[in-house]
Structure 1
Amino acid sequence: MSDTPPTKPKRPPQTRTGLTDTGVKKAADKSARTRAREFALQALYQHLVGRNQAESIDAFTRDLVGFHKADSAHYDALLHGCISEAAALDESFTPLLDRKMVEISPVEHAVLWIGAYEFKHCLDVPYRVVINECIELAKAFGGTDGHKYVNGVLHKLAPNFRAAEVAADKKT
């Protein structure tokens, strides 16, 4: 018998720069806006599931670890904008759904709110970036294939808010 303790097997080396071994972006590589979207998603989830008021959710979220690295202005716009425009945002993508709204998970619902809100109000963010960021949110926080559903809905929704941008993109 040996006196040496057993060693843990080594993790395989990372093959893609900036990603953890699970394929998620490393925290250090995330932009302030990406972080803002993540915190906004968590806050919107609290609103959808717990029916908590925006002010109490906001106060709680700002105390979370890492919030200081987020773009707080973008977070504010997403949280308060999505909640105040919830009905209009829902109306914008409900016709594109293949199921009833109550069958959409709260995570995917919140991600769709973020996508629709950014299409409508954040014209400095290209529509493809909005879609990609929302897909990443759904991958990180949603169900197994939720990102595919979000992708499909947002691709159909983009021309409703960004017709000229989508048309120009298709030409190139």
Structure 2
Amino acid sequence: MSKKRSQARRHAVQAIYQWQMAGQDLAAIYEQFLGEQDLSQFEVPYFKDLLHGVPNNLQELDGLLKPALDRAIESVDPVERAVLRLGVYELKHHMEVPYRVVINEAVELAKVFGAEKGHRFVNGVLDRVAKSVRAAEIRG
């Protein structure tokens, strides 16, 4: 797990949160983040993929989240919602990343940006989603 990829996820969660809250154009958010960050510190193509991948696959991602949630996705804290959507996107569209890495990274993001116990919620939800999306990998 590379530090640059972790940083890409960190920026992506912030950008997805911004998109969720303001409905701002993805290209504008992307340009804003590139202008504010040291590009050598994170994996820019991965950041771009995550930033565009979540909104472009939103129905699929929310559909995968729905059975794992105890409430409507819209009532989940906006930070945790961004982390969950990012995590599910990686589980579904980045099979090269082990599911445990996806979950661990999401939990760390929830610890940094989310509510006090939000990381536990994120861990439980993504664990349930992984059991359906990555069943073969989990069984080993």
Listed as ranges, the gaps of 5+ residues in structure 2 are none
Structure 1 residue ranges (4+ consecutive) displaced by more than 6 angstroms after TM superposition: none
CA distance in 1, matches of 2:85, 2:101: 15
- 86, 92, 96: which one aligns with 1:114: 86
Q: How far 1:75 moved relative to its partner? A: 0.4
Structure showing greater relative contact order (alpha-carbon pairs closer than 8 Å, 6 or more residues apart): 2
In the alignment, residue 96 of structure 2 is paired with which amino acid?
D
Q: Give yes or no for contact 1:82–1:117 (8 Å, CA) kept in 2.
A: yes
State the Cα RMSD in Å. Answer: 1.1
How many residues end up aligned between the 2 structures? 139
State how far apart, in whole Å, the 2-side matches of 1:145 and 1:43 are.
22
TM-score, scaled relative to structure 2: 0.95
Larger radius of gyration: 1
2: distance between equivalents of 1:109 and 1:58? 19
Distance 2:57 2:37 in 1: 28
TM-score (norm 1): 0.78
Partner of residue 116, structure 2: 144
* Aligned counterparts, 1:87-106, within 5 A: 87-106=59-78
Unaligned runs of at least 5 residues, structure 1? 1-29
Normalized per residue, the structure richer in helix is 2
Aligned to 1:131: 103
Q: Distance in 2 between the 1:118 and 1:57 partners?
A: 20
What percentage of aligned pairs have identical amino acids?
A: 41
CA distance in 1, matches of 2:68, 2:82: 16
Match of 1:66 in 2: 38
Provide the C-alpha distance between the structure 1 equivalents of 2:89 and 2:39, rounded to a whole number of angstroms: 21
